[in-house]
A and B are shown apart, each in its own frame.
Chain A
Amino acid sequence: MRPLFAKPISAKQATLLVLLLLIAVAPAFFPSNFYYRVGTLIFINGLAVTGLVVLIGYAGQISLGHAGFAGLGAYACALGPVHLGLPPALSLVLGAVLSGLLAWLVGRPILRLKGHYLAIATLGFGVLVSMVLANEAWLTGGPDGMAVADLGLRGLLKSAGIKVGNAELWYWLAGLILLAGAWLALNLKDSPSGRALRSLHDSEVAARTVGVDVARYKLSAFVISAVYASVSGSLLALTNRFVTPDIANFLHSIELVTMTVLGGAGTVIGAATGALLLTALPQVLTALQEYEHIVFGLIMMLVMIFLPDGLLPSLHRLLRRRVS
């Protein structure tokens, strides 16, 4: 019989195991229902951030407009049940398909741009989406937002004889979806396509020289990350049962990118750490009241100045240096 742990587990298995353990064990320490809610938000942000790992971490492209896709996903869940009679879960899928399609259409011209030009183009795209959501009040309810139908999962479970609190249910659901999203992104990383993507990160010219279809791979990374953002937006709308155009605005885009980079954009676990910190931190900082923004800005600056590769990669390197 082969002994357990004879060979070290792969980074992919380790990441999934750590995520699974964290999700499963954390509730044992929750003093109140409120913590389930924070956990849910962390997982939902973590999902969008996992998509950005594919775009920023693997392919080395930047987007300051991904909240636009989150907005599309959110409003698909708000409008689908009302106007098309679709159940919320199908609306989520519809939103993801639409986001992917839009990303494919917009991505072709946008992704020819580089660096700061790409940043401003994606930023402009996000601003346009949030403006349409805020201004077309006849459809979206305008800046006041609109109510979102119930997912209906709790009722379904109840009829099957399983009783579970709303906050808890969302915690487990969002956790599962994050795990699935992380699993997909990790599988991509070590596939031939993932290697081609990561070759873009280092040098586009070199990638092209060895026969990588640069435009196609960039576009697919953009579409994948848009779908992740869209699903994350849908989940946020469904768990809040309410949505406003704020979900698509510039600051939300920035928040997502910051989470990705702060934790470490190169790995799923690093970016998930970023989501954990930046989602939990404001909840803690509200205790500081008017000092909240100062402390938040200061933490952002300090982490990026002293750990420019992100929290986890830098800590990892530090630890390794200690050991050897």
Chain B
Amino acid sequence: MSELLQFTFSGLTVGAVYALVALGFTIIYNASGVVNFAQGEFVMLGGMITVFAHAAGAPLPAAAALAVVATAAIGILLNKLAIERARGASVVTLIIITIGASIFLRGAAQLGFDKQLHRFPSFSGDDPIAIAGATILPQSLWMLFGAAVVFAALYLFFTRSLTGKAVLATANNKLAAQLVGIDTDFVMALSFGLSAAIGALAGVLATPITLTSYDAGTALALKGFAAAMLGGMGNPFGALVGGLLVGLIEATTAGYLSSDYKDAAAFVVILAVLFAMPQGLFGKSAQERV
């Protein structure tokens, strides 16, 4: 029993990161219809910028804040310089543009930083906390707490603020949103900035446990994309559930079956879910218009 609890803890910890990455995918997808494969690089940048700012003498909170702001700026630039200019291009074209962006950012990180594995100290020490025969790291609690705060804040943002509702309106129907006077270019920029910031925050929270390096983004993007699709693309709640599920599936597979196949298990489940529910768990079904 305590074994299962242990796997649940570690599953929820990685699941929280996947959920944040999936949330980043969701926000950009809703605003622009683009699946941003550079989402994993935002997480990497969040971790790496914090590491180097901290090493340069900045206190950890300041380094983390700098990382989030800088990454958000990179996200906005990505939108301005690449996505906005390719408006109206096909799905495959847009996927390749963001893959190009992810290769570019990886190369830039390798050049600007280095090729080593890095970490910085946990926020509240590394002494595991014992709960019912299992243990959990204080940093894991920080990760779960951080993810919970982000999801709650976004929920309030989308339901209570006028700007949040403008984002939802743009996601729903861009042309109609423009007609009622919503600045959809601003919404696009906001979405990229927001999702880059969320990715960077995930990187800041996870790096003390998972470590980071210039090429850490690809695997995270794959898992986050999978989590978003599992939940149903475009649904923030689906991103949360999908992320936590992928984390839990991985942790229990690694614990009970084989750690070699922990990455496979998530994809097996996703294929099974998509066969039964082609729109993911919480996705809306769409009809092709002629």
> Which residues of A pack against B, CB within 8 Å?
56, 62, 109-110, 112-117, 119-121, 123-125, 127-128, 131-132, 135, 203-206, 250-251, 254, 257-258, 261-262, 265, 290-301, 304-306, 308
Smallest distance from the beta carbon of A180 to chain B beta carbons, Å?
Answer: 27
B102–A297 CB distance below 8 A: yes
Contact A205 B290 (CB under 8 A): yes
A296 touches B263 (CB 8 A): no
In the assembled complex, the CB of A249 is this many whole angstroms from the nearest CB of chain B, namely 10
Question: Which segment, of B53-61, B123-131, B194-202, B273-281, faces chain A?
Answer: B273-281
Q: Quick one: which of B96, B274, B279 contacts A300, CB cutoff 8 A?
A: B96
- Bound CA span A308–B100, Å: 13
In the complex, chain A residues whose CB is within 8 Å of the CB of B261 = 131, 135
Does any Cβ of A come within 8 Å of B233's Cβ?
yes
Q: Which residues of the partner chain A approach B274 to less than 8 Å between Cβ atoms? A: 113, 117, 120-121
B92 x A56 contact (CB < 8 A): yes
Q: Is the CB of A117 within 8 A of B229?
A: yes
Chain B stretch 231-263: residues in CB contact (< 8 A) with chain A: 233, 258, 260-261, 263
B267 & A62 in contact (Cβ 8 Å cutoff): no
Instruction: Give chain B nearest CB distance to A318 CB in angstroms.
Output: 17
Q: Is the CB of A304 within 8 A of B290?
A: no
Task: Give the 10 A-B CB pairs with smallest separation, nearest first.
Answer: A293-B107, A297-B104, A300-B100, A297-B103, A124-B267, A294-B107, A301-B100, A308-B89, A120-B229, A135-B260
Contacts of B102 in A (CB 8 A): 297
| Contact status B222-A293, CB under 8 Å | no
Residues of B87-108 contacting chain A, CB below 8 A: 88-93, 95-97, 99-108
Say which size band chain B's interface belongs to: 35 or more
Instruction: Kindly report which residue of chain A lies nearest to residue B95, judged by CB atoms.
Output: A119
Residues A261 and B96 in contact, CB atoms below 8 Å apart: yes
Is A301 touching B91 in the complex (CB atoms < 8 A)? no
Residues in chain B near residue A299, CB distance under 8 A: 100
Tally of A-B Cβ pairs under 8 angstroms? 132
Which residues of the other chain, A, contact B260 by a CB distance below 8 angstroms?
Answer: 131, 135
A124 touches B226 (CB 8 A): yes
Bound CA span A110–B275, Å? 7
For the complex, give the distance between the alpha carbons of A280 and B118 in Å. 34
Alpha-carbon distance between A119 and B221 when the two chains are bound, in angstroms: 14
| Bound Cα distance A240, B250 (Å) | 35
Q: Is the interface of B mostly helix, strand, loop or mixed?
A: helix
User: Contacts A301-B101, A304-B86: A117 and B280 contacting too (C-beta < 8 A)?
Assistant: yes
Alpha-carbon distance A62/B90, docked complex (angstroms)? 11
Which residues of chain A come closer than 8 Å to B96, judged between CB atoms? 257-258, 261-262, 300, 304
Contact of B271 with A by CB under 8 A? yes
**SS of A interface (majority):** helix
Let me know if A125 and B271 touch, CB within 8 A. yes
Are A117 and B92 in contact (CB-based, < 8 A)?
Answer: no
Does chain A have a CB within 8 A of B82? Answer: yes
- Contact at A257–B92, with CB atoms within 8 Å? yes
Give every chain B residue within 8 A of A301 (Cβ-Cβ): 82, 97, 100-101, 104
Which chain B residue shows the least CB distance to A250? B222
| List of B residues within 8 angstroms of A128 by Cβ | 264, 267-268
| Docked-complex contact B86 and A305, CB < 8 angstroms | yes
Q: How far is B222's CA from A74's CA once the two chains are assembled, in angstroms?
A: 24
Whether B290 contacts A206 by the Cβ 8 Å rule is yes
Query: How long is the Cα–Cα vector from A131 to B265 in the complex, in angstroms?
Result: 11
Residues on B with beta carbons closer than 8 Å to the beta carbon of A251:
218
The CA-CA distance from A6 to B91 in the complex, in Å, is 42
**Which of B90, B92, B110, B279 has its CB near the most chain A CB atoms (within 10 A)?**
B92
Does the CB pair B104–A298 fall under 8 Å? yes
Assess the B92–A261 pair: CB atoms within 8 A.
yes
B268 cross-chain contacts in A, Cβ below 8 A: 124, 128
Closest Cβ of chain A: how far from B109's Cβ, in Å?
9
Tell me if B49 is interfacial: C-beta within 8 Å of chain A: no
Q: In the complex, given contacts A119-B35, A308-B93, what are 12 additional A-B residue pairs having Cβ atoms less than 8 angstroms apart?
A: A117-B233, A117-B274, A119-B95, A132-B264, A254-B99, A293-B110, A298-B104, A300-B97, A300-B99, A304-B86, A304-B89, A308-B89
